[in-house]
A and B are shown apart, each in its own frame.
Chain A
Amino acid sequence: EPEVTQTPSHQVTQMGQEVILHCVPISNHLYFYWYRQILGQKVEFLVSFYNNEISEKSEIFDDQFSVERPDGSNFTLKIRSTKLEDSAMYFCASSEARNYEQYFGPGTRLTVT
Chain B
Amino acid sequence: DAKTTQPPSMDCAEGRAANLPCNHSTISGNEYVYWYRQIHSQGPQYIIHGLKNNETNEMASLIITEDRKSSTLILPHATLRDTAVYYCIVRAAGGTSYGKLTFGQGTILTVHP
Main secondary structure of the interface of B (DSSP, over half): loop
User: Which residues on A sit within 8 Å (CB–CB) of B113?
Assistant: none
- Indicate if A68 sits at the interface (CB-CB under 8 A): no
| B interface, size bucket | 20 to 34
- How many pairs, one residue from A and one from B, have CB atoms within 8 Å of each other in the complex? 66
User: Which residues on B sit within 8 Å (CB–CB) of A106?
Assistant: 42-43
Tell me the minimal C-beta distance from B6 to chain A in angstroms. Answer: 12
User: Which residues on A sit within 8 Å (CB–CB) of B92?
Assistant: 99
- A100 to B32 CA separation, bound complex (whole angstroms): 10
Residues of A at the B interface (CB closer than 8 Å) are 4, 31, 33, 35, 37, 42-45, 48, 50, 55-56, 58, 89, 91, 93, 95, 98-107, 109
| A-B contacts besides A42-B105, A43-B101, A104-B45, 12 pairs, CB < 8 Å | A4-B43, A31-B99, A35-B103, A48-B100, A56-B98, A99-B97, A99-B99, A101-B34, A101-B49, A104-B43, A106-B43, A109-B41
Can you list 30 A-B pairs with a CB-CB distance of less than 8 A? A4-B43, A31-B99, A33-B99, A33-B100, A42-B105, A43-B44, A43-B101, A44-B103, A45-B100, A45-B101, A48-B98, A48-B100, A50-B98, A56-B98, A56-B99, A56-B100, A91-B43, A93-B43, A93-B44, A98-B94, A98-B98, A99-B32, A99-B93, A99-B99, A101-B46, A102-B46, A102-B101, A104-B44, A104-B45, A104-B46
